Amino acid sequence: MKQILILIFLCFSINIFSQDRNYTIDTIRVKSNILHENRIIIIHKSLNFSKIDSVQFIYCIDGESTVRFQRLNERFKDSIQNLVVVGILHTDRRRDLLYVKGADKFLDFVTTELIPAVEKDYKTKNRILYGHSFGGAFTVYSMIQKPSYFNFYIASSPTPIMDLIKREYYLQIDSSIKDRTKFYFSYGSKDMKQVRKWSNRLKDNLTGLEFNNFEWQFEIFEGKNHNNSDIFALINGLNYLRK
What's the pLDDT tens digit per position in 23-63?
788 899 999 999 999 999 999 887 777 777 888 899 999 98
Domain encompassing residue 150: 2-241
Where is mean pLDDT largest: 34-48, 73-87, 125-139?
125-139
pLDDT above 50 for 175: yes
pLDDT for res 22 = 67
Task: Report how many domains make up the chain.
Answer: 1
Q: Amino acid identity of 45?
A: K
Q: Residue 57 in contact with residue 43, Cβ under 8 Å?
A: no
Q: What is the mean pLDDT of residues 114-134?
A: 94
Q: For the chain, what percent of residues have pLDDT higher than 90?
A: 68
For the domain that residue 159 is a member of, what is the CATH number?
Answer: 3.40.50.1820
Give residue 185's pLDDT band: very low, low, confident or very high (50, 70, 90). very high
